[in-house]
């Protein structure tokens, strides 16, 4: 279905509509057509805030970065909630450009937008269907531009203040987009101030007259500004890049690119974990962090303009790592079936068998793969149509499962999963089975002692559908008692409503055998004293203790020895009491 969007920043040629203020507020509106082929610069138009809808999907929303959001996302309105929805389109008659966006930093002349449609199998027309957005309002005069369009319809824009301090603005027949088919759109300019603080400007753009059952209105963008507003400088941290890794004691070179849209950039400051490292006022803006210590850092650049207004860059996560450990990561398409029992010789785990909280894991071993910790606050959900089918025969609590295609997922930008596995000087191999829908994933694994470069991947991405992946990490730390931390989250959402990352299972191979419980075997008393034996494992140490009374308990060490995989004989020649208690510790 065709539909046309509108929006452009051009001279306003139509008359200003409306009226006297009531109780101190003001609300006036005007309309101007937007020429086909023109290009609206949202960065320049929206000094306080701007929003663009529909870049990738019907739920995509891009907005001005580094400022407090003021323009709301849209809601759909209509005469009935039945058959009412928003859809993306990509053939708007004019384009939009921005340089300071989030999550998409820069876009040039995109012709995307969204359209609202209401249909009824009974044959009702889509009158009254469209969009609603809101903007905070107080006693300060502000200007909101709303870029709209229509297909086989005439649209109507209504704007009102929540405190009723000014008459409602309603566009006239001449002040609107009125297209019999698919044509150019227009921009409404609303000048408003409420009669009191803490109010809201409510804007609706709906079908006022339809020319077919396919009639609809479109929404592309909105921009907010006020008199004397300073467009804050926009800064990009060009280096270090996100997830960059540097060997210890190296020099980390910071470079930033900054632009001020209504003045000049005076300086850029550079920060690591909130601590200022240095600054420069000379372009190109560079700074050297000498002998950076081992650690994980969130680094930013902050630009300040000639009006004293500052804005930070998007943070970058970087690592400075030591040596002595190893970590090698890779990814591949997962197989259609996986036997977790066979693959997870040291441990395995599966999530979501029957519900979102189900966790199954390998029996008769010490658990090594942790359950996940959720990243974000959205609810973890279960699903049942995964590409890979998982089976196992040694599980807890479900002993045997064959061919389950279940897993868990979480929606929302930056949301995801975090888990850990043990790490020491022994080599291990971890596999994580994951996926996503309508998103770009970010997988990262690093050793707690940062004794090797971390592994990071952001190559798995799908705008409209599902993707599946298995990550393999082979690793060893430089010292005992460490962990490998694994994080998997959404780096970008193309579908901001349903976009998600998924997690199904993990397996672990390698490392030393599990330390099994130690038992006292064949105890007996002879004239030589008490004797018994202990079955041992190699690479483990044992301590035998004794006491003559359990009340009070006063354990004393009888002997220490190293296990060799055999059975150790223990004799206590000093056991002359009629009773003696023994215990053994293995580590």
pLDDT number for residue 214: 85
Contact 22, 164 (CB under 8 A): yes
> Is the sign of the CA dihedral 97, 98, 104, 105 positive or negative?
positive
Cα–Cα–Cα angle for 409, 413, 419, rounded to 5 degrees: 50
Give the range of the structural domain holding residue 475, as residue numbers without chain letter.
Answer: 326-510
User: Rounded mean pLDDT of 278-282?
Assistant: 94
pLDDT number for residue 120: 59
Q: Is residue 409 part of a domain?
A: yes
Q: Is residue 16 part of a domain?
A: no
348-406 pLDDT per residue, tens:
999 999 999 999 999 988 899 999 999 999 999 999 999 999 999 999 999 999 999 99
User: Rounded mean pLDDT of 401-420?
Assistant: 97
**Strand pairing category for 95-98 and 39-41:** parallel
Among 14-23, 257-266, 398-407, the range with the most confident prediction by mean pLDDT is 398-407
- pLDDT of 499 > 90? The answer is yes
pLDDT number for residue 16: 35
Domain boundary among 489, 510, 531: 510
- Please indicate, yes or no, whether residues 435 and 454 belong to a single structural domain of this protein: yes
322-346 pLDDT per residue, tens:
999 999 999 999 999 999 999 999 9
Contact 340, 391 (CB under 8 A): yes
- Please indicate, yes or no, whether residues 438 and 573 belong to a single structural domain of this protein: no
- Please indicate, yes or no, whether residues 340 and 465 belong to a single structural domain of this protein: yes
Measured between alpha carbons, how far is 482 from 447 in angstroms, rounded to an integer?
7
pLDDT number for residue 286: 95
Q: Is residue 8 part of a domain?
A: no
> pTM value?
0.75
- Please indicate, yes or no, whether residues 255 and 125 belong to a single structural domain of this protein: no
Domain boundary among 483, 510, 537: 510
Q: Is residue 414 part of a domain?
A: yes
Q: Is residue 283 part of a domain?
A: yes
Query: Which whole-number Å values give the CA distances from 497 to 16, 54, 213, 442, in the listed order?
Result: 37, 12, 27, 18
pLDDT number for residue 518: 83
How many domains does the chain fold into? Answer: 4
Q: When comparing pLDDT for 393 and 573, which is higher?
A: 393
pLDDT number for residue 195: 96
The residues pairing with 153 across neighbouring beta strands, listed in sequence order, are 179, 210
Q: What is the CATH number of the domain that holds 157?
A: 2.60.120.260
- Please indicate, yes or no, whether residues 308 and 338 belong to a single structural domain of this protein: no
- Please indicate, yes or no, whether residues 170 and 44 belong to a single structural domain of this protein: yes
pLDDT number for residue 14: 32
86-141 pLDDT per residue, tens:
999 999 999 999 999 998 999 999 999 999 977 655 555 578 899 999 999 999 99
Q: Is residue 13 part of a domain?
A: no
Mean residue pLDDT across the chain: 91
Q: What are phi and psi of 514, to 5 degrees?
A: -60, 145
Q: What percent of the chain has pLDDT over 70?
A: 94
- Please indicate, yes or no, whether residues 261 and 353 belong to a single structural domain of this protein: no
- Please indicate, yes or no, whether residues 146 and 265 belong to a single structural domain of this protein: no
Q: When comparing pLDDT for 517 and 53, which is higher?
A: 53
Measured between alpha carbons, how far is 242 from 314 in angstroms, rounded to an integer?
9
The residues pairing with 347 across neighbouring beta strands, listed in sequence order, are 508
Q: Is residue 20 part of a domain?
A: no
- Please indicate, yes or no, whether residues 192 and 65 belong to a single structural domain of this protein: yes
- Name the one residue in this structure whose structure tokens are 């079936």: 337
Q: Is residue 207 part of a domain?
A: yes
- Please indicate, yes or no, whether residues 188 and 114 belong to a single structural domain of this protein: yes
49-99 pLDDT per residue, tens:
999 999 998 989 999 998 899 999 999 998 765 677 899 999 999 999 999
Domain boundary among 289, 321, 353: 321
Q: What percent of the chain has pLDDT over 90?
A: 75
Peptide bond into 552 cis (omega under 30): yes
Measured between alpha carbons, how far is 425 from 324 in angstroms, rounded to an integer?
9
- Please indicate, yes or no, whether residues 263 and 349 belong to a single structural domain of this protein: no
15 three-state secondary structure = coil
- pLDDT of 21 > 60? The answer is no
pLDDT number for residue 577: 59
Peptide bond into 103 cis (omega under 30): yes
Q: Which of 297-301, 315-319, 408-412, 509-513 has the lowest mean pLDDT?
A: 509-513
- Please indicate, yes or no, whether residues 196 and 240 belong to a single structural domain of this protein: no
Q: What is the CATH number of the domain that holds 281?
A: 2.60.40.10
pLDDT number for residue 402: 98
Q: What is the CATH number of the domain that holds 492?
A: 2.60.120
């Amino acid at each position: 279905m065709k539909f046309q969007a509108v929006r452009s920043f051009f001279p306003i040629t139509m008359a200003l509509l409306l009226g006297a203020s009531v109780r101190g507020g003001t609300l006036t509106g005007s309309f101007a057509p937007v020429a086909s082929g023109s290009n609206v610069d949202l960065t320049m138009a929206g000094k306080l805030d701007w929003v663009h809808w529909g870049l990738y999907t019907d739920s995509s929303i891009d907005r001005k970065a580094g400022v407090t959001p003021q323009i709301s996302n849209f809601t759909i309105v209509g005469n009935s909630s039945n058959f009412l929805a928003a859809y993306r389109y990509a053939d708007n008659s004019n384009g939009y450009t921005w340089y300071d966006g989030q999550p998409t930093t820069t876009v040039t002349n995109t012709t995307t937008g969204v359209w609202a449609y209401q249909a009824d199998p009974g044959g009702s027309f889509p009158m009254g269907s469209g969009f609603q957005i809101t903007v905070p309002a107080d006693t300060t005069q502000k200007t909101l531009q709303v870029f709209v369009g229509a297909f086989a319809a005439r649209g109507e824009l209504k704007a009102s203040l929540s405190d009723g301090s000014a008459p409602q603005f309603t566009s006239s027949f001449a002040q609107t987009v009125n297209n019999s088919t698919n044509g150019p759109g227009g921009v409404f300019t609303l000048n408003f101030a409420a009669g009191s603080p803490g109010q809201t400007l409510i804007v609706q753009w709906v079908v006022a007259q339809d020319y077919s059952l396919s009639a609809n209105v479109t929404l592309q963008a909105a921009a907010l500004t006020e008199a004397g507003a300073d467009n804050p400088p926009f800064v990009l941290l060009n280096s270090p890049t996100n997830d960059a890794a540097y060997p210890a004691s190296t020099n980390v070179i910071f470079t930033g690119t900054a632009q001020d849209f209504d003045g000049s950039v005076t300086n850029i400051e550079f920060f690591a974990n909130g601590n200022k490292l240095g600054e420069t006022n000379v372009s190109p803006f560079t700074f050297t962090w000498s002998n950076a210590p081992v650690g994980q850092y969130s680094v930013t650049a902050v630009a300040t303009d000639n009006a004293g207004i500052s804005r930070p860059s998007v943070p970058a996560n970087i690592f400075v790592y030591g040596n002595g450990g190893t970590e090698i990561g890779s990814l591949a398409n997962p197989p259609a079936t996986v036997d977790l029992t066979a693959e997870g010789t040291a441990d395995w785990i599966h999530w979501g068998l029957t519900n979102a909280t189900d966790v199954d894991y390998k029996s008769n071993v010490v658990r090594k793969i942790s359950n996940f910790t959720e990243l974000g606050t959205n609810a973890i959900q279960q699903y049942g149509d995964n590409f890979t089918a998982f089976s196992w025969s040694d599980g807890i609590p479900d002993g045997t499962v064959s061919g389950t295609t279940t897993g868990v997922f979480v929606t929302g930008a930056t949301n995801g999963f975090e888990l850990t596995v043990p790490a020491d000087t022994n080599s291990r191999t971890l596999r994580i089975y994951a996926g996503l829908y309508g998103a770009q994933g970010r997988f990262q694994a690093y050793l707690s002692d940062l004794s090797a470069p971390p592994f990071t991947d952001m190559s798995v991405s799908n705008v409209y559908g599902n993707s599946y992946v298995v990550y393999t990490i082979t690793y060893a730390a430089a010292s005992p008692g460490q962990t490998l931390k694994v994080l998997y989250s959404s780096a970008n959402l193309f579908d901001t409503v349903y976009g998600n990352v998924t997690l199904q299972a993990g397996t672990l191979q390698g490392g030393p055998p599990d330390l099994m419980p130690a038992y006292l075997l064949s105890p007996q008393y002879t004239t030589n004293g008490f004797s018994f034996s202990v079955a041992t494992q190699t690479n483990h140490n044992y301590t035998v203790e004794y006491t003559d009374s359990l009340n009070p308990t006063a354990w004393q060490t009888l002997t220490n020895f190293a296990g060799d995989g055999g059975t150790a004989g223990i004799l206590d020649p000093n056991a002359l009491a009629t009773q003696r208690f023994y215990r053994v510790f293995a580590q």
